[in-house]
Amino acid sequence: MEVVIGEHRFKGIHDQWISTEKENPFTGLDEFLAKYFGKHILIFIAYDVKNHIEDLQTNHNNDIGFPLIHCIIPAKKYSFKGFKPGKK
């Protein structure tokens, strides 16, 4: 895993938490956030989390198995100065 956000480049995975369909996603999220308080945490949130906030439903199947919430603690953080132009 490698991602650039603003002036930071995050690389690798130190730890991660992935919600499952069988649990309330916010319980596990709270525990993970408390465990890594003060650390950089990348959080990917699926649109269908709305169904756990309000009494809503979706008519679409999650055929690819995308999690509702995926949290990642990056292994390393670097400064990012911008992309270098490539050769054409």
Q: Tens digit of pLDDT for each residue in 21-54?
A: 777 889 899 999 999 999 999 999 988 888 778 8
pLDDT value of residue 84: 76
Determine how β-strand 8-18 pairs with β-strand 42-45: unpaired
Kindly tell me if the per-residue pLDDT of 67 is higher than 90.
no
CA distance 64 to 11: 25
85 or 25, which is more confident?
25
Write down the pLDDT at residue 46.
87
C-alpha–C-alpha distance, residues 18 and 46, integer Å: 12
Average pLDDT over every residue of 56-82? 84
The pTM for the full model equals 0.76
